[in-house]
Amino acid sequence: MENHQSTESSASDKHTTIHDCAESGDIEAFQKLLQDNPSLLNEKNAIMLETPLHLSAATNRTDIVKFLLEWKGDDKVDLEARNMYGETPLHVAAKNGCNEAAKLLLSHGALVEAKTKVLYTYLNIIFSFRNASSEKCESDIFFFFFFHHFYMQYGVTPLMLSVLHSIRAKDCSTVETLLEHKADCDATDDKDMNPVDYVSKIQGNGKLLDLILPRQQEERQKKLQEACSKQKERMDALEKELSNIVGMDELKMQLRKWSKGILLNDRRRAIGLKIGTAGRLPHMAFLGNPGTGKTMVARILGRLLHSVGVLETDKVKEVQRTDLIGQYIGHTGPKTRSKIKEAEGGILFVDEAYRLIPEEKSGRDYGLEALEEIMSCMDDGKVLVIFAGYNEAMNRVISSNEGFSRRVTNLFNFKDLSCEELANVLCIKMKNQPKDSLLYGFKLHSDCTVDAIAELIKTETIKTQRMKMNGGLVDIMLNNAKGNLDLRLSDDCAERDELLTIKLEDFEAAMEFIPE
């Protein structure tokens, strides 16, 4: 009896650090050390950067894992702490087949889809599995696979590691636990391999494959249904947005292609097809006269591309020369970069972009510097750039920078609006007035048909007027017509509907004040 106590005493003395106690399972010494010094709760050891939770989870010391997870001190144990390989405690529990520790971690909210964030090397695999058991690996093929797959590897999940342990130890319990907690059987590492691919690399693992494959197929079916539903919802939203764009058939078709292609790729991935990721953002140039809808289309485009996942946000940052150009040497670059930063995740809309390149060079001009700054940001995928301006003037911008044509691959011509298109724009605007507009709440009389308004525009304006203003003509007509409504209503008018209804006669009167 005395010898037994002496042995326990010497063992306890040996475990002098919190990490030693966590790894050995010396619960009494561990509790005393942590209670004496609570700052050791998430202390990382040298070199491996492992916390006490890492070490106790990796060796299935469930009493210590439980004690850490239920710690009542001011600080909480870090479930997602990373060691030098970017592994969380759940990673190391899965890697070593410590099922009970994994259950405890998952029950307290450990992330089942956590991925390693740094190089996951062959040596890490060798040391981890050799430390977990003194037995020699049964198959050289097993380690051959490890070496070729894990050398310089990122993005490994706990399920992937538990699969590898199960192949080696012929114990699927940790795999089953992770699957019960909805571990993704389609999650891929940086070599685009999922857990099923891991199993398929090694012969003789029918039981493990039978366990994972049905779950993967079930997940894929669910993802496919969600992708189909999302596609219909987003394509319906797309068509609703496109209905507010008059004309521009070429642009509409291109938007449909982009949107449907992106959504179909979601469906392809849902059923396990391995396809490439999206390329560079589709930078554009909008060419056309003022009032042809370039700014409006840019705003709609921001919403559309955000809804289908091309852009992080739907914001559109509108800038002109004065927003980009500095007043002295060294001022333009930072000023332009600041505007680019504001647009990150969305669209940078450079209106009247041709003003960045003067027609005649007279002294130093900083427009070209601003343009080069914008060009330099177009390859990093953080912002989509749209240049807008007159057709002929924009040719100066295109020819001034050799990288423009390479980066701006989508050029859209905004044609002058016909009388019928202008009438359609007017009707659409009336239906979509924002709450802060003077025309919010007003409506058109039934005599204000598209045909009637189109005929009025045709007879009361000339082509050069329409070319000069385009959509601007519609704004003038609406404001003037509302003014005429106010003027013709009598002071004793009590009809609610009449107070808010613009008639064709109001537009007829409004045409007298259209600038030539």
Give domain status of residue 87, yes or no: yes
Least confident of 178-182, 200-204, 443-447, 508-512: 200-204
- The C-alpha atoms of residue 82 and residue 351 are separated, in whole angstroms, by 47
- The C-alpha atoms of residue 326 and residue 370 are separated, in whole angstroms, by 9
- The C-alpha atoms of residue 409 and residue 380 are separated, in whole angstroms, by 16
Residue 32 is encoded by which pair of tokens? Answer: 């005393």
Give the CA radius of gyration of the chain: 34
On whether both 408 and 430 belong to a single domain, the answer is no
Hey, what amino acid is at 288? Answer: G
Given a cut of 90, whether residue 491 has pLDDT beyond it is: no
Q: Which of 27-41, 140-154, 260-274 has the highest mean pLDDT?
A: 27-41
Burial 195-219 (b: 16+ CB within 10 A, else e): bbebbebbeebeebeebbeebbeeb
Residue 88 binned pLDDT confidence (cut-offs 50, 70, 90): very high
Give domain status of residue 445, yes or no: yes
Cβ atoms of 59 and 25 closer than 8 Å: yes
On whether both 163 and 227 belong to a single domain, the answer is no
Q: 282 vs 288, 347, 441, CA distance in Å?
A: 19, 11, 38
Give domain status of residue 212, yes or no: no
**466-489 pLDDT, tens per residue?**
888 888 899 999 999 999 998 888
At which residue do the structure tokens 């130093």 appear? 364
Helices then strands, counting H and E runs in the chain, come out as: 26, 7
First vs last Cα of the chain: how many Å apart? 112
On whether both 181 and 235 belong to a single domain, the answer is no
On whether both 305 and 165 belong to a single domain, the answer is no
**108-121 pLDDT, tens per residue?**
999 999 999 755 44
Given a cut of 60, whether residue 53 has pLDDT beyond it is: yes
On whether both 252 and 377 belong to a single domain, the answer is no
On whether both 373 and 340 belong to a single domain, the answer is yes
Least confident of 13-22, 23-32, 297-306, 308-317: 13-22
Give domain status of residue 214, yes or no: no
**Phi/psi at 515 (5° precision):** -65, 145
Give domain status of residue 209, yes or no: no
Last residue of a domain, one of 277, 302, 326: 277
Give domain status of residue 4, yes or no: no
Looking at the chain, the whole-number percentage of residues with pLDDT higher than 90 is 41
Residue 189 is encoded by which pair of tokens? Answer: 């590492």
On whether both 157 and 41 belong to a single domain, the answer is yes
Q: What local confidence, expressed as pLDDT, does residue 136 receive?
A: 45
Last residue of a domain, one of 277, 294, 317: 277
Give the residue from 402, 361, 372, 408 showing the smallest Cα distance to 387. Answer: 408
Which of helix, strand or coil describes residue 482? helix
Q: 101 vs 17, 443, 490, CA distance in Å?
A: 21, 67, 83
Q: State pTM to two decimals.
A: 0.56
Higher pLDDT, 516 or 341: 341
Given a cut of 90, whether residue 465 has pLDDT beyond it is: no
Give domain status of residue 46, yes or no: yes
- The C-alpha atoms of residue 456 and residue 422 are separated, in whole angstroms, by 11
On whether both 82 and 125 belong to a single domain, the answer is yes
Least confident of 74-78, 149-153, 220-224, 367-371: 149-153
Domain containing 423 — which CATH number? 1.10.8
DSSP per residue, 398-443: HHH-TTHHHH--EEEEEPPPPHHHHHHHHHHHHHT--TTSTTTT-E
On whether both 408 and 295 belong to a single domain, the answer is yes
Give the residue from 475, 477, 471, 514 showing the smallest Cα distance to 292. Answer: 471
Cβ atoms of 203 and 168 closer than 8 Å: no
Least confident of 23-32, 208-217, 446-455: 208-217
- The C-alpha atoms of residue 350 and residue 347 are separated, in whole angstroms, by 9
- Work out whether the CA dihedral 443, 449, 452, 453 comes out positive or negative: positive
- The C-alpha atoms of residue 388 and residue 390 are separated, in whole angstroms, by 7
Q: What local confidence, expressed as pLDDT, does residue 152 receive?
A: 45
The number of domains in the chain is 4
Domain containing 356 — which CATH number? 3.40.50.300
At which residue do the structure tokens 């009247």 appear? 352
- The C-alpha atoms of residue 429 and residue 471 are separated, in whole angstroms, by 10
Residue 67 is encoded by which pair of tokens? Answer: 């004690």
Range of the structural domain that residue 106 is part of:
10-204
H or E element in which residue 155 lies: none
**CB within 8 Å of 79: residues ≥ 6 apart:** 53, 88, 89, 90, 105, 108, 109, 110, 111
On whether both 128 and 226 belong to a single domain, the answer is no
On whether both 68 and 78 belong to a single domain, the answer is yes
Q: Can you list the alpha helix ranges (DSSP code H) found in 331-366?
A: 332-343
Give the residue from 282, 468, 466 showing the smallest Cα distance to 386. Answer: 282
- The C-alpha atoms of residue 236 and residue 256 are separated, in whole angstroms, by 11
On whether both 167 and 45 belong to a single domain, the answer is yes
- The C-alpha atoms of residue 491 and residue 489 are separated, in whole angstroms, by 7
Give domain status of residue 211, yes or no: no
